[in-house]
Amino acid sequence: MLHSEAYTLVTTSSHHQSLDDYVDVKSGKAYDLNVYLQAALRRQYPELALTSTVDRNVNLLAFAFAGHATATLDIVDESVLRTRYVSGTSVSESRTFAKYLYRWGDEYFIVYVVHISYFETRQYILKEPAEGETTMSMNGKTDELLRAIGKWQIPPPPGDKWVYVYDNGYWFRSRALYEQVKNASWDDVILNEEMKKQITSLMHKFFDSREIYKNLGVPWKRGVIFHGPAGNGKTISIKALMNSLFRSNGLSIPSLYVKSATSTWSIRRVFQQARYMSPCLLIFEDIDTIVTKNTRSYFFNEVDGLENNDGIFMVASTNHLDKLDAGLSSRPSRFDRKYLFPLPSEEERKLYCQFWRRRLKEKKVDVEFPAKICPAAALITDGFSFAYMQEAFVATLLAIALRRSDGDEGEEMEEAWDHSGDDGDKDLDDYELWRELKKTIKALRNDMGNDSGKDKDKSSTEDDAFSKELALEMEAQAPASDPRFFAGQPPLPLGPADSGIGKQLEGPPVRELHVQVDFQNVPIITEENTFVPQTSYLGGSGVPVDYQGASVSIDERTPIQQFE
């Protein structure tokens, strides 16, 4: 029989553990557990730099379980809070407080993963400072790890193509804009041919000249401004420029389109994403609405401050170069070249009419359009922008179509397309298109007079349809809450992974980790260091069950490696 001496009462106390603080605070002492724990960890590890992240933004355990790092649970120097779950002979657990010895390549980290609330799990990363760093500065090695995880979390889906768009405070991806860009061509742009070549050559030479910039010791960045009255080809030229980039480089050099960014917070997000995805084409629409008296200093600092902007080619558009801040329009290190898109000349308006004539012929539209209408239309549209001319043709064709749908066929159509411009002796007024076009142009000119103080721009039905499609994409990828909620996170432009609750909160798209969580929304981890997949939910007994309540074996779990 064993003697009582075998049971020894341990009276010596162990060294301080952060779990003591966790338990103390969870007992109702703190208002903000995150603040309290950061202070506790700094006391416990005064020689290490502390970085705080959330798992929805950058998931260290998922990265390790996928085989890109190792995360060893440390129960020697720290306690762990866990809940065990059983299904048959399989055992798994959730951990609300755990310390890991984390290794990535040749670098070692201490990582605490702490469940703060149902919606938040914090990851505290501790790392020794490098030379020139302090315990209170950002840690270079930690940031390298976060960037590596971020890159892993955002894999480009095979065959999927889009343009990244920033609007209303967050990034989303637009396939609708990509389709418009794909169909845009310099052949459809009525612009000086030499200017087309200059713009295209400047961009392509920039992306092909990284080593040249490096050898010269100058920053590998450039910027151009497209300016001029509204509706004269700036937007279509940007799309044609993007298309030429797609054709030559595929998606290896992404295009980032900034539609609105009216705060310093948004400007920060824009440049974070551009730096993360460089080399890239960064486009600012109506930059005069982005660089204002409230944001100018911050924008300038992002463009040519201390941070590295290598590989970023900026294109900005504005209808009001005269109203643009001189620090933006006149300083070469920010935007080196300016290209004017003026109102079209009579010859350019004639070319635009010929473009519409070819378009209607290709589509076999049943409207007689003789060649002599082109110079006549160019003559009476003096002062019109391309946008107004487009509206003239669209409105004219719609009026003709609506009148015919009401039963008024107008004059009999002749096979004018087969005459190759030989219009015989017919007067211009004999053509239905010309009569309707004159009425439309007169109405638009009156409209221009009434809007003399406004931008002379018009939106076609096609543009309206695109705007609606873009709005639907934006709404579908909108954050579940105010995106500024994440402003306190590490400076990584990543969308948080789906941890099993709600939808993805940010774009761009991330590797979705549909994992099983317990009643506290804490991921369940198996003994083999894999997540239980989200094919089931936990029943009242704590056992994984399907939607009918039937038990699901944890042996059917999916390792994270299969998400690669």
Report, as an integer, the average pLDDT of 521-537: 61
pLDDT in tens, 372-421: 999 999 898 888 888 888 888 888 888 888 888 766 554 444 444 444 45
Nearest 5°: CA angle at 308, between 305 and 311? Answer: 120
Tell me how far apart the alpha carbons of residues 167 and 507 are, in angstroms, rounded to a whole number: 11
Tell me how far apart the alpha carbons of residues 389 and 440 are, in angstroms, rounded to a whole number: 10
Count Cβ atoms within 10 A of the Cβ of residue 528 and give its class: 0-12 exposed, 13-18 middle, 19 or more buried. exposed
| Residue in 239, 165, 242 with CA at minimum distance from that of residue 204 | 242
> What's the DSSP call for residue 69?
S
pLDDT in tens, 90-122: 788 889 999 999 999 999 999 999 998 877 889
Q: Pairing relation of β-strands 163-167 and 255-258?
A: parallel
- pLDDT for res 153: 74
Rounded (10°) angle between helices 461-476 and 175-183 = 150
pLDDT in tens, 43-66: 999 999 999 998 877 889 988 888
- Say which residue, 161 or 553, is predicted with more confidence: 161
- Say which residue, 464 or 392, is predicted with more confidence: 392
pLDDT in tens, 334-374: 888 888 888 888 888 888 898 889 888 888 888 888 899 99
Report, as an integer, the average pLDDT of 525-542: 52
Average pLDDT value over all residues in the chain: 76
3-state helix/strand/coil string of 178-189 = HHHHHHCCHHHC
- pLDDT for res 146: 93
Rounded (10°) angle between helices 386-405 and 346-362 = 40
* Residue 496 banded pLDDT, cuts 50, 70, 90: very low
Tell me how far apart the alpha carbons of residues 383 and 345 are, in angstroms, rounded to a whole number: 9
* Residue 457 banded pLDDT, cuts 50, 70, 90: low
Instruction: Label residues 533-542 b or e (16+ Cβ within 10 Å = b).
Output: bbebbbeeeb
- pLDDT for res 512: 46
178 pLDDT exceeds 60?
yes
| Residue in 558, 548, 493 with CA at minimum distance from that of residue 523 | 558
> What's the DSSP call for residue 497?
P
* Residue 476 banded pLDDT, cuts 50, 70, 90: low
564 pLDDT exceeds 80?
no
- pLDDT for res 251: 64
> With pLDDT > 70 as the criterion, what percentage of the chain qualifies?
70
> With pLDDT > 90 as the criterion, what percentage of the chain qualifies?
20
